[in-house]
Structure 1
């Protein structure tokens, strides 16, 4: 789960309406839900999750020290000089945990690769465009690393329409 969703869509779980919306949205998932507890009190996240009604996925709270170590690693390589995107952090985590990695939705440009040059949103859940995202994240640098991971057979990058 992207940290900006918690801030914007779920208002940091500070209202009953936001918690209810979280409950409705989370009920669509099973398996493991990774929650970014970065910059939040764990009690806020746990309150929203505790009040959740229905089938609960397993919740994993991102570890701030791990997140910082991943940032430090990529900065030490000189490959990335801005904040990591949540997606790139998750790719970095997947490299450490998974035998196979299939990636969808990583495309740092504002239009599709294919012949039909349709617009591509940066986030699937809001109206932020890729050209706006580059102000906060090193999207081209991240994508270049992901392409290298693909070429090395470490991850399979899918750039076509899902």
Structure 2
């Protein structure tokens, strides 16, 4: 009788233990460095940086083995034939079955001229303001930018002008361009800043983003734009997310910047990173804006930007990639 009384209690305790373990798996307890600690660490490192070819080769192999960026970073006719089910990486219970309409919008295969040599991945952090990194960025062979940033004259000295691939979250189409339901002119005109680059959209990450991404594609196609639309492959995004989760990044979703850095590490011989600084002060501990062009904060709890920075800083210190933080020197002999 006594044993029967304890069984339900033991079951409840077991269930609670499982819930607690799951909570710590999703939201682990760890201490992120304070902004001041990060500044001190960066200042201690100084300008010293040495390329580590072994580290570069290792990360290219790790990302190739887990995520196959050469073949899978975009949805193509080769990897997504008619009838293939694309499971949304941001909403696991939604999927899209490739039909004749969507298939016709895909590129044939990876359109990038591989191998890419010196790549620059440009984030939008406020640390770029007054950095004078524009000429460094523009010297790269392949330049990736995030979320349709402004490249107007007032920013050229800090962020450069050239672009080869730029990401565009569907939420930008929704908020900045009113879902492209009323007018497409402002969208098409704003996209001219990116020349003949690739526009990379996660059309199959969240269900509402599919129609928005298709509208953006048709808006560019109907205007005879020089831009080429690429749809991010949800399988690639999912596997990259798992890769960084295993390396200590526990946000609900990776930032567009970290996806781009991952792509660059998988495809490029050298990677330089600019504008990745998710902290409220600069290296002189003076307040800075969240973006170099505005001070709009991110959605809380969605990305784990400080964790992402810590991982990238480890790669910088190991010589696997180079992070540019603060001002760029006026002239430089190396990369």
TM over 0.5: yes
The match for 1:50 among 212, 215, 218 is 218
What are the equivalent positions in structure 2 for 1:71-82 lying under 5 Å apart? Answer: 71-77=241-247, 79-82=248-251
The answer to whether the aligner puts 1:26 opposite 2:184 as a matched pair is no
Q: Distance in 2 between matches of 1:119 and 1:157?
A: 18
Deviation at 1:140, TM superposition (A): 1.4
Partner of 2:23: none
Count of paired positions:
154
Q: Could you tell me which of 108, 115, 119 is aligned with 2:288?
A: 119
Q: Measure, in 1, the Cα distance between the counterparts of 2:306 and 2:172.
A: 23
CA RMSD of aligned residues (A): 2.3
Structure with greater contact order relative to length (CA < 8 Å, sep ≥ 6): 2
How big is the shift at 1:57? 1.7
> What corresponds to 1:143 in structure 2?
309
TM-score normalized with structure 2 length: 0.42
Residue ranges of structure 2 left out of the alignment (5+ in a row): 1-166, 329-335
Q: Give the distance between the partners of 1:146 and 1:133, measured in 2 at CA.
A: 21
Contact 1:103 1:156 in 2 (8 A): yes
Question: Any conservation in 2 of the 1:112–1:120 contact (CA below 8 Å)?
Answer: no
In 1: Cα distance, 2:300 partner to 2:192 partner: 32
Matched, 1:10 2:177: yes
Cα shift readout 1:106-160 (whole Å, capped 9, x = no counterpart):
00101222x3714121x4565323xx55532111110011101111222111111
Secondary structure of the residue that 2:270 maps to in structure 1?
coil
Residues in 2 aligned to 1:7 and 1:161: alpha-carbon distance in whole angstroms: 34
Return the alpha-carbon distance in structure 2 between the equivalents of residues 88 and 100 of structure 1.
16
Q: Which 4+ runs in 1 deviate beyond 6 A?
A: none
Aligned counterparts of 1:112 and 1:85: Cα–Cα separation in 2: 21
Contact 2:289 2:295 in 1 (8 A): no
TM-score (norm 1): 0.80
2:235 match: 65
What SS does structure 2 have at the residue aligned with 1:120? coil
